[in-house]
Each structure stands twice: as C-alpha cells, then as structure tokens.
Structure 1
Amino acid sequence: MIRAILFDLDDTLYPSNSGVMDQIRLQMMCYLCTRLHLTPEEADELRRDYFLTYGTTMRGLQINHDIDADEYLAFVHDIRLENHLQPNKELDAVLAGIRQQKVVFTNASREHAEAVLAVLGIRSHFDRVVDIRDMDYESKPVATAYGRICELLGLEPAECILVEDNVRNLEPAKKAGMVTVLVAGSAGGQNPAPDIVDHVLSRVEEIGHLLETIGAAGEQTAMRTDRTAG
C-alpha cells in the first residue's frame, strides 16, 4: 500500500523554464568565483564535475574545500522567487485531493523549500520537508539518501512514490523498491528506461490522475504506464 508521495522540489513542483534554477546556478558560479578565486570557465567546470561526482556541487565543496554549508546554502538560494513563480491553484487543488502523506524530498535547504512552497501557495498540503541537512548532506542520487528518508518517515521503500524531474535520481529509488514517477515536462529530453521509471507525467499536476489510475489509494496495482499520463 502506498502511504507517502515524495516530491522533489526544484524543476518538479514548478516548470523547469521558470528561471529559478538558472538564478541558483548563477549564484553558485558567483560563490565559486569569489570564494575559490576561479574564472567563470573554471567555476562552471568545477560545478559540473562536483555535481556529477558527489550528487551536489555543495557536497564536493564540503569534501574538497571544507566550506560552511549553511553559508553556501544561504548564498545560492538568495534569489527573488516571486520574479519567477506564482501561486498554482491547479496544483493546490490536486494536492488537496491526495490522501497519502505528502513530503518534499529535496537536495536544497529547508529555507529554500519553504519559500518555494509559500510562493506556489501549496505549503499547507505537505506534512514534512526533508532537506539536505536531514540527509546528513548525502543527497540524491546517493543510495543511502533513500534509506535515510524511509527511516525518517518510518516507512518501507515499497510504501513510497518518488516524483522527480531527473532520471538520475529515480534510478536508486527504483532499486530501493520505490515506485518512480518522472515529470517529463521538466526532464530536458531525458529518455527514461522502463526498468527505472514506472510512470511518466508531462506535468506534476497530473499526479492526482495517476494515483487514481494505479489505485494508489489502496493496494498498488502491477500496472505500468509507458506513455505520458493525461
């Protein structure tokens, strides 16, 4: 039985073309250039390398440069969200109709997550925000992060659905036993393998319809969707 829906935050609960992540990446670049005295080209290369190697740029900076994590998180998330996001009444209504526990599972900070949820007008629907600190900075897609969130929630992986915009973060979830849902509209042309992604949505607002389709209010069915729900 599905007991919890775990939602990624950035580029999942809002469209990837909103500009939010573009601004965060600019803040990352500024941090790297000023704190590590890098050129923009060097900073971008390091950012990408750490992201691919450690799951987040911040984790690479912690391990290799002993940075202050709280300072970094505050710096990179210091953006004006209201310039990019607005209340989403459709998503508000969809979330209101989901009976399972709803949790934000993010590699970002709690402060950033709370701010995003507030601007979108959907904070009241979420029972919990699990952020990078709750993961002891071992973030998605590190395998231990998925066991950690289940431990925090007191659930088995098979009792959870993970909704994500990044196939890379869904693969360990699938291996752990979670049901995996890709928000393809935010996926940037990713081509998900059927052994990694159970269901595909074009927009996160379709999650309510998907849950009805797979019977997630009760026992999960064996049904697999290999096309966009809608």
Structure 2
Amino acid sequence: MVAAVLFDLDNTLYAPERDLFALIDKRINRYMLEVVAIPRAEVDGLRRHYWKAYGATLQGLIRHYGVDPEDYLDYVHDVDVSTRLQPDPLLCSSLQRLPLRRFVFTNGSRGHAERVLAALGLAESFEEIFDIRIANYQPKPNPDPYHGVLRQLGLAAGHCVMVEDSLANLATAKQLGMTTVLVAQDPEQSAVVDHQVATASQAAQLVTSWL
C-alpha cells in the first residue's frame, strides 16, 4: 500500500522550459572559476567528468579540491527564482487533494527548495524537504540518499512513489522497489518507468486515482 510520495524538485514541479537551471549553471561555472580558481578552459570538461563519475559537480569539487559544500550550495543557489517561476494553482490543488504524505527529494539545497516552493505557491504542500545533505552530499542516483530518506520516513521502498524527470534517478528508485512516475512531455520507453505523465499535477492526480 502506498504511504508516501516523493517529488523531485527542479524540472519536475515546474516545466523544464522555465530554464531555472540555466541561472544555477552560470553560478556553478563562476564558482569553479572565481572561488576554486580552475582555469576557464578546464571547467566544462571537469563538470562533465564529475557528473559521469560522481553524479554531481559538487562531489568532484569536494573530492579533488576540498571545497566547503555549504559554501558551494549557498553560492550556486543564489539566484532569483521569481524571474523564472510563478504560482501554479493547479499543481497546488492537485497536491492538496492527494491524501498521502508528500515530500520533496532533491539534489539541491533546502534553501533553494524553499524558494522554489514559495515561488510556485507550494510552501505548505509538502511535509518535509530531503536535500543533498541527506547522505553527506551524495546525489541521486546514488542509492545512499534514497536509503537515507527511507530511514527518515521509517518506510519500506515498496510503500513509496517516486515522481521524477530523470530516468537515472528513477532507475535507482525502481531497483529499490518504489513505484516510479516519469514527468516528461515526450513518450519514453523504459523498464524503470511504471507510469508517465506530462506534469507534476498529473502525477498527483494519477496517484490520487489509485486510492
């Protein structure tokens, strides 16, 4: 029986076309250039390498440059989300009608998540935010943050639904035993996807229809 729904944040609760990550992307590059003093010509290659090896730029910078993860998170998320996001009344009402525990599970920071939720008009829609700190800054799709969330909830994976825009992140959720819902406009054929919808509001409505 489903007891909780875990929603990814960026590009899941709002459409990728909002392009909020473009603002964060610029801040990551600036951090690498100006704070860590990595030569400009090496930044893009290192970011690709760190994403492939560790799942996130932050893990590479921690491991190879000893950066302070809190300093990094504060710096890269220092963007005005209100320039890209507006309240989403449909999503708000769909979430409020979903009679299950609802959580945000993100690779970003809690502060960033709180600002995004406020801009979307969803500040009261979730019980808790699980951020990149849940497993010592290990990002999804690493299994550690998933296990950390499940421990915090006191639930088995089979009682959880994961709503995500990332197939890689859903693959871990599926492997652990969660029901998976992909949020994407284009049809995707994958064994890790149990259901696919176009928007987060449709995901909330779908789960509600099961109850």
Aligned residue number for residue 93 of structure 1: 93
Offset at 1:126?
0.4
Check if 1:8 corresponds to 2:4. Answer: no
What amino acid is aligned across from residue 94 of structure 2 in structure 1?
V
1:174-227 CA-partner distances (Å, limit 9, x unpaired): 000000111013xxx68441x2110101111101331144x2x2xxxxxxxxxx
| Distance in 1, Cα, partners of 2:117 & 2:36 | 32
Residue in 1 aligned with 2:139? 139
Counterpart for residue 44 of structure 2: 44
C-alpha separation in 1, matches of 2:123 and 2:189: 30
Letter in 2 for 1:196: V
Which residue is equivalent to 2:61? 61
Superposition pairs of residues 29-178 of structure 1, within 5 angstroms:
29-178=29-178
Residue 9 of structure 1 deviates from its aligned partner by 0.5
Maintained 8 Å contact 1:167/1:190: no
Residue 27 of structure 1 corresponds to: 27
By how many angstroms is 1:64 displaced? 1.3
Q: 2:200: which partner in 1?
A: 204
Contact residue 167 and residue 192 of structure 1 kept, 8 A: no
CA deviations on 1:50-99 (whole Å, 9 max, x unpaired) are 11211111011111111011110011001111100011111111011001
Runs of 4+ in 1 over 6 A off after TM superposition: none
The answer to whether the 8 A contact 2:98-2:208 is kept is: no
Tell me whether 1:184 sits opposite 2:184 in the alignment: yes
Equivalent residues of 2:184, 2:196 under 8 A apart:
yes
Percent same amino acid at aligned positions?
Answer: 37
- Secondary structure, in 3 states, of the residue corresponding to 1:103? strand
TM, length-normalised to structure 1: 0.88
In structure 2, distance between residues paired with 1:212 and 1:97: 7
Specify every segment of 5 or more residues in structure 1 that has no aligned partner in the other structure, as ranges: 218-230
Q: Which amino acid aligns with 1:130?
A: F
Q: Secondary structure at the match of 2:133?
A: coil
* Distance verdict in 2 for CA 1:61–1:81, change over 3 Å: same
Asked whether the equivalents of residues 183 and 200 of structure 2 are also in contact (C-alpha less than 8 Å), the reply is yes
Secondary structure in 2 aligned to 1:133? Answer: helix
- What is the total number of aligned residue pairs between the two structures? 211
Question: Match for 2:85: what amino acid?
Answer: L
Partner Cα separation in structure 2 for residue 25 and residue 13 of structure 1: 19
TM-score by length of 2: 0.95
